[in-house]
Amino acid sequence: MELKTRIKEYRAKYNMKQEELASLVGVRRETIGNLENGKYNPSLKLAMDIAKIFHTTVEELFEFYD
C-alpha cells in the first residue's frame, strides 16, 4: 500500500513552513518532509494532531492506495 498525503497542499494554503508545522506537532522537520514524500507513515496521534492544526480530518489529509 502507498500513502498519499495532502500535507504540502495544506501547508501552502496556510502559508506554513515544514519547520513551523513540525514545531506545532512536536516532531522534527525531516519527519514532515518524509510524510509529504510518502516515506513515512504517521502514527494515529500524529495524523490527528496535523489534521487538528489544519482544521480538517485525517481522511482528508491521508489516503492509502493499493
- Which pLDDT does position 62 carry in this prediction? 93
What does the pLDDT look like over 3-56, one tens digit per residue?
899 999 999 999 999 999 999 999 999 999 999 998 889 999 999 999 999 999
- Which pLDDT does position 66 carry in this prediction? 76
Per-residue cell: 5: 498525503
**For the chain, how many structural domains are there in total?**
1
CATH number of the domain that residue 48 is part of: 1.10.260.40
Domain that holds residue 17: 2-65
